[in-house]
Structure 1
Amino acid sequence: MKVKFGTAPCSWGIWFAENEKQTTWERCLNEIKEVNYEGIELGPWGYLPNKYQQLKEELEKRNLNLTATTLMDDLTSDSITEKMIATLDEMAELQLKFPTAKYVVLIDACYTDLFTGELIRPKVLNDSEWDRLVKNINKIKNYARVKYGLETIFHPHVETHVETEEQIERLLHDADVKLCLDTGHHAYAGGDPTSFMRKHHLRIPYLHIKNCNLKIKEKMQKEGWSLAKAVSEDIMCEPELGMVDMKAFFKVLQEVNFNGWAIVEQDMYPAEFEKPLPIAKRTREYLQKISQETVAK
């Protein structure tokens, strides 16, 4: 097992390219360097510098490798899929200049409004809608591979059309795509990321490490919170504290000889500017410790 630890801007409260409730990209990168992560995802397109020379300089002086870009939108829509491909073209021009950034993390759009919780798309797709989703996932995957040599990895995500283990299994059957397994999202949707990783590790080259607070989830469901409200109440929590047994998960990583990026995320929005760094330090120390203990056994 050789796990390379990175992080993403969402662990610093970054959800949007521009937002008055978000910290500056300079502070975000400086604190990531202070925590001593090896890599970083690009995050929302336009938050970090997206001109090559500037981004290269900013990452190099902090010893950070770019790992991936992200596409998230309604994959049941053919027209929106075409817009996603246009964004991929724009991002790829930058991404290809960073040899460590091999992945495009692809996510379906939420079926609820992020802030109101209102249902804005069907929660469950019929067969024709599902087939369109699969077709568009394959279309983006094939386009990224053929034109740019980039690997698209699909990220099952809460409150999207691929969130439960049953839906993920169906996708793995119907689409020739690999996964970005997010431990927190997987647990939130009622799955067991540890057993799922053991079963499907050959289809999982890339990880998002986070945890989920079961008590907050139960309160969210009882009171009908939106996803953004739940995040503001820390439904996603430090790896040591949530419902996922991280030691058991890392034991499986050792069993399957996982060799890749584990991007540590703790969704926060909005986040007080002083909040992320102490959490990131504790998280980094904890994950490094259990990783080393797992290898030593």
Structure 2
Amino acid sequence: MSAIRVGTAPDSWGVWYPDNPNQVPYTRFLDEVAAAGYQWIELGPYGYLPTNPSQLQDELEARGLRLSAGTVSERLHQPNSWDVVWSQVTDVAALTAALGGKHVVVLPEMWRDLFTGEELEPGELTGEQWSAKTEGADRLGKAMFEEYGVQLQYHPHADSHVDTEENIIRFLENTNPEYVNLCLDTGHVSYCGGDNLAIINRHPERIGYLHLKQVNPDVVAKVHTENLSFSEAVTLGAMTEPPLGVPEFPPLLEAVAKRGVDVFAIVEQDMFPCPPDAPLPIAQRTFKYLSGCSVAGLRFN
């Protein structure tokens, strides 16, 4: 039977940066992940967790944890961007592979400033830029796999060029499934007005990884009406713990389970900044909720 292995990520502890005074120390994050019941994590921003493979392995083993993936961003639609993107990817991919991880989640850089909402570049790509992004993603996925043995899982993001359901489908239909598949972030899809089930049903073979996230539709409506930045949206509680928001998880997990292949489903609840005592109780409740979902193949180890 195929498995959907559930884990969590630094993002659910309010971690957005390698080092920030508003974030909990990495040791507390790891301790609380284990206390909540999870066994799988992601690296989060490179440098938050130890970058020495031996040290990180010791930290994980001491708590019964394992690594599912690393995370990095891309801007491959921009001219002469390959070297900068690849230099970031190599660090993340090498550390991920050294810890036994098989995936690197790649996010498009945002076209709006995360905090102010200021437009940094046009929100729509030209045809030439779309080709540069999709061809660059294929090249990146091929290089990552050949050099590090990790698979590229592409993560759509709000206020980026791969955000809406339409843009996600366009991206998938112009990339090579041998090298590029989708990290379906259920929250970002819903935040951008998309239908997660429709994406799964249209391209089930491309769902290679999941980020489980729910949004509060009332907050999201306010964000869009007032044209607020993504950071403001998070501060207002746009991302909420299940089962309080949308989309519903069981139907999505059941649709993915029908694929018959193993995937990770990593819980992410965007919170930054957040009180240091807030994440653990949320993580415990979320673990309990997911443990009660009757979905074939859902596993926590």
1:244 aligns with 2:250: no
Task: Quote how far apart the aligned CAs of 1:279 are.
Answer: 0.6
C-alpha deviation, 1:207, in angstroms: 0.5
Residue 264 of structure 1: how far off its partner (Å): 0.5
Report if the CA contact (8 A) 1:178-1:204 is conserved. yes
Partner Cα separation in structure 1 for residue 289 and residue 193 of structure 2: 25
Give 1:258 shift.
4.9
Aligned to 2:150: 150
Alpha-carbon displacement from aligned partner over 1:204-255 (angstroms, at most 9, x marks no partner)? 1211000111100111122232100110111011120112022222232343
Q: 1:4 to 1:52 in 2, by over 3 A?
A: same
Q: Verify: 1:196 aligned to 2:203, yes or no.
A: no
TM-score normalised to structure 1 length:
0.94
One-letter code aligned to 1:44: P
Match for 2:224 among 211, 221, 226? 221
Q: How many residues align?
A: 293
Any stretches of 5+ residues in structure 1 without a counterpart?
Answer: none
Deviations 1:45-91 (A, max 9, x none): 00011111110010001111111111113221243331121122223
The 5 Å alignment of 1:121-160 reads 121-160=121-160
> Does the CA contact (< 8 Å) of 2:181 and 2:207 recur in 1?
yes
Report the residue type matching 1:270 in the other structure: P
TM-score normalized by the length of structure 2: 0.93
Aligned position for 2:181: 178
AA aligned opposite 1:217: V
**Identity of paired residues, percent?**
37
The CA distance in 2 between the partners of 1:114 and 1:29, in whole Å, is 26
1:117 paired to 2:117: yes
**What is the alpha-carbon root mean square deviation over aligned residues?**
1.5
Deviations 1:162-190 (A, max 9, x none): 11111111111111121111111111111
For residue 22 of structure 1, report the CA deviation from its aligned partner: 0.7
C-alpha distance after superposition, 1:5-27 (max 9, x if no partner): 11110000000001111111011
Tell me the secondary structure at the aligned position of residue 244 of structure 2: coil
Query: What CA distance in whole angstroms lies between the structure 2 residues aligned with 1:199 and 1:129?
Result: 25
Q: Which amino acid aligns with 1:278?
A: P
What corresponds to 2:77 in structure 1? Answer: 76
Match of 1:12 in 2: 13
Distance in 2, Cα, partners of 1:67 & 1:254: 18
The secondary structure found in structure 1 opposite 2:203 is helix
Distance in 2 separating the partners of 1:103 and 1:136:
18
Structure 2, gaps ≥5 residues long: none
Map 1:205-216; keep pairs closer than 5 Å.
205-216=208-219
Tell me whether 279-288 or 80-89 shows the greater mean CA deviation: 80-89
In 1, Cα distance between equivalents of 2:258 and 2:26: 37
DSSP 3-state at the match of 1:205 = strand
